[in-house]
């Protein structure tokens, strides 16, 4: 798994996604388009669902890819779960938790927010204490890998607790899927959504998603129709399920690309892929320390993501100018901070295909030149 010279003469995408693509994914994208109702294409859909089950580590029958970016998985989740005044607990410690809360309240949820500072992660036992205080809670939602801060949220203990309740466990795994351990079934996750442009190294445009039987039975009991036609799960399962009933024209070539990206992931093996991300994340941290730069995440207290590094911008460095220069002179993209971290941190992605030591070394050799100007 390495970027060849030709790839590096293109742009090296080291922001918070998208990443560069493997040649097999690019080839899949440029295949001749076939119909979304062609039986040959149904084999691709079947393959995607079964490979996604491997990557999500689930036996969930309803496992597919929503047409739309990672945010469409969030919309799909909230649209189907939330009915007017349903109580939802949302954990917020960054931009993507904020968005879950915004999305749930737009569907009429009675949202309780639990909030900590950006750069921190939740103590799972405190979350369980909070859950116990809310009567008739319908769901708990959180972000596994908060891309706005670079922090990993441990979730197994919360999931274990929720397994024995009627409360749904909703997890945003947009950045974590295929990059760090994520066991949907074992950890009691009911709805998990992701994106294609992060650790799967497929272009943006699809949102892999999986629904547990528990979530399906709760959704079935809705009193009202899902307010979004496009995201109504009860309609979409007729296309992704055995009946193959037309719902919308599926983005055929994106699905070819996802199928190939998932095959690459499974050929490497999940354990190897997690180990590669972990090793290269550590390598990045060593190189960062050598430069005298600091992680935004307090590494003594919290877990930093291996695939998305948040770095404090040293005093006297012009954030925007440095990023512009890196992009135009070196063809390397890194990301800036969001919300309260704007201008204070860089977000540097080493995800999926781009999680590679040689690429990290090449990056630092260029990057240091811009720090000393
Ligand atoms: N959730 C997380 C954790 C993300 O990092 C992102 C995007 O970066 C999203 C949700 C939204 O995904 P998209 O931009 O693909 O809609």
Domains of the chain: 12-21+270-371 (3.90.1150.10), 23-265 (3.40.640.10)
Ligand 1 lined by 177 (C-beta under 6 Å)? no
Determine what percent of the chain is predicted with pLDDT higher than 70.
97
Q: Which of 174, 202, 308, 351 most suits a substitution to test ligand 1, by most atoms within 8 Å of the C-beta? A: 174
What's the average model confidence in pLDDT over 83-96?
A: 98
Separation of alpha carbons 146 and 162, rounded Å: 21
Ligand 1 lined by 207 (C-beta under 6 Å)? no
Nearest-atom index, ligand 1, CA of 72: 16
Separation of alpha carbons 149 and 346, rounded Å: 10
Distance 39 CA to ligand 1 centre (A): 32
What's the average model confidence in pLDDT over 168-193?
A: 98
Would the pLDDT of 72 be above 80? Answer: yes
Q: What is the pLDDT of residues 129-180, one digit of tens each?
A: 999 999 999 999 999 999 999 999 999 999 999 999 999 999 999 999 999 9
Measured in degrees and rounded to the nearest 5, phi and psi for residue 217 equal -70, -35
Strands across the sheet containing 12-14? 12-14, 332-336, 345-349, 308-312
373 pLDDT tier (thresholds 50, 70, 90): low
Separation of alpha carbons 147 and 174, rounded Å: 9
Determine what percent of the chain is predicted with pLDDT higher than 90.
97
Would the pLDDT of 261 be above 70? Answer: yes
Q: Of the candidates 75, 79, 76, 65, which has an alpha carbon nearest to the alpha carbon of residue 206? A: 65
What's the average model confidence in pLDDT over 290-300?
A: 96
Query: Which residues lie across from 110 on neighbouring strands?
Result: 87
Q: Whose CA is nearest to atom 5 of ligand 1?
A: 147
* Alpha-carbon distances, residue 372 vs 47, 118, 133, 314, 316 (angstroms): 50, 29, 53, 11, 10
Token pair, residue 274, equals 């997690």
Q: What is the pLDDT of residues 14-40, one digit of tens each?
A: 999 999 999 999 999 999 999 999 999
> Could you tell me if 112 and 63 are in contact, meaning their C-beta atoms sit under 8 angstroms apart?
no
pLDDT of 331 reads 95
What's the average model confidence in pLDDT over 62-68?
A: 98
> Could you tell me if 81 and 89 are in contact, meaning their C-beta atoms sit under 8 angstroms apart?
no
Would the pLDDT of 5 be above 90? Answer: no
Nearest-atom index, ligand 1, CA of 74: 10
* Alpha-carbon distances, residue 137 vs 82, 133, 168 (angstroms): 11, 9, 9
Token pair, residue 311, equals 């770095």
Q: Of the candidates 345, 343, 358, which has an alpha carbon nearest to the alpha carbon of residue 151? A: 345
Nearest-atom index, ligand 1, CA of 148: 5
283 or 7, higher pLDDT: 283
Token pair, residue 16, equals 């918070």
Distance of CA 113 to the CA centre of its chain: 21
Ligand 1 lined by 150 (C-beta under 6 Å)? no
Contacts of 32 (CB under 8 A, 6+ apart): none
E strands, the chain, in order: 12-14, 62-67, 87-92, 110-115, 137-143, 145-146, 151-152, 168-172, 191-193, 206-211, 303-304, 308-312, 332-336, 345-349
Token pair, residue 316, equals 């006297």
Distance 16 CA to ligand 1 centre (A): 9
Ligand 1 lined by 16 (C-beta under 6 Å)? yes
Ligand 1 lined by 204 (C-beta under 6 Å)? yes
Distance 191 CA to ligand 1 centre (A): 16
9 pLDDT tier (thresholds 50, 70, 90): low
Would the pLDDT of 237 be above 60? Answer: yes
Ligand 1 lined by 149 (C-beta under 6 Å)? no
Ligand 1 lined by 108 (C-beta under 6 Å)? no
Nearest-atom index, ligand 1, CA of 308: 5
372 pLDDT tier (thresholds 50, 70, 90): confident
40-44's contacts with Cβ under 8 Å and 24+ in sequence apart are 41/250, 41/252, 41/255, 42/244, 44/255, 44/256, 44/259
């Amino acid at each position: 798994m390495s970027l060849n010279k030709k790839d590096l003469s293109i742009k090296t995408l080291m922001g918070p996604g998208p990443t560069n693509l493997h040649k097999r994914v690019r080839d899949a994208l440029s295949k001749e388009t076939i119909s979304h109702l062609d039986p040959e294409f149904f084999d691709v859909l079947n393959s995607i669902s079964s490979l996604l089950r491997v990557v999500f580590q689930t036996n969930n029958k309803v496992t597919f890819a929503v047409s739309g970016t990672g945010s469409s998985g969030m919309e799909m989740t909230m649209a189907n779960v939330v009915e007017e005044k349903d109580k939802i607990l949302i954990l917020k410690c960054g931009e993507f938790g904020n968005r879950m809360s915004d999305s749930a309240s737009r569907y009429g949820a009675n949202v309780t927010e639990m909030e900590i500072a950006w750069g921190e992660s939740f103590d799972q036992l405190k979350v369980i204490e909070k859950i116990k205080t809310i009567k008739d809670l319908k769901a708990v939602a959180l972000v596994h890998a908060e891309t706005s801060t670079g922090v990993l949220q441990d979730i197994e203990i919360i999931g274990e607790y929720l397994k024995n309740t009627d409360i749904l466990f909703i997890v945003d795994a947009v950045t974590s899927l295929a990059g760090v351990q994520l066991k949907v079934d074992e950890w009691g996750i009911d709805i998990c959504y992701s994106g294609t442009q992060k650790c799967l190294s497929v272009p943006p445009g699809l949102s892999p998603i999986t629904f547990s039987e528990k979530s399906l039975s709760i959704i079935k009991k809705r009193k009202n129709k899902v307010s979004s036609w496009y995201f109504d799960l009860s309609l979409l399962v007729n296309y992704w399920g055995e009946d193959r009933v037309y719902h919308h024209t599926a983005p055929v070539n994106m699905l070819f690309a996802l199928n190939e990206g998932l095959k690459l992931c499974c050929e490497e093996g999940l354990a190897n892929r997690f180990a590669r991300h972990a090793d290269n994340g550590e390598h990045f941290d060593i190189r960062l320390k050598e430069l005298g730069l600091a992680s935004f995440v307090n590494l003594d207290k919290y877990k930093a993501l291996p695939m998305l590094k948040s770095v404090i911008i040293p005093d006297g460095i012009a954030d925007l100018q440095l990023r512009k220069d890196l992009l135009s002179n070196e063809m390397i993209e890194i990301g800036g901070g969001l919300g309260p971290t704007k201008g204070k941190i860089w977000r540097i992605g080493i995800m999926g295909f781009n999680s590679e030591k040689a690429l990290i070394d090449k990056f630092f050799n260029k990057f240091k030149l811009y720090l000393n100007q």
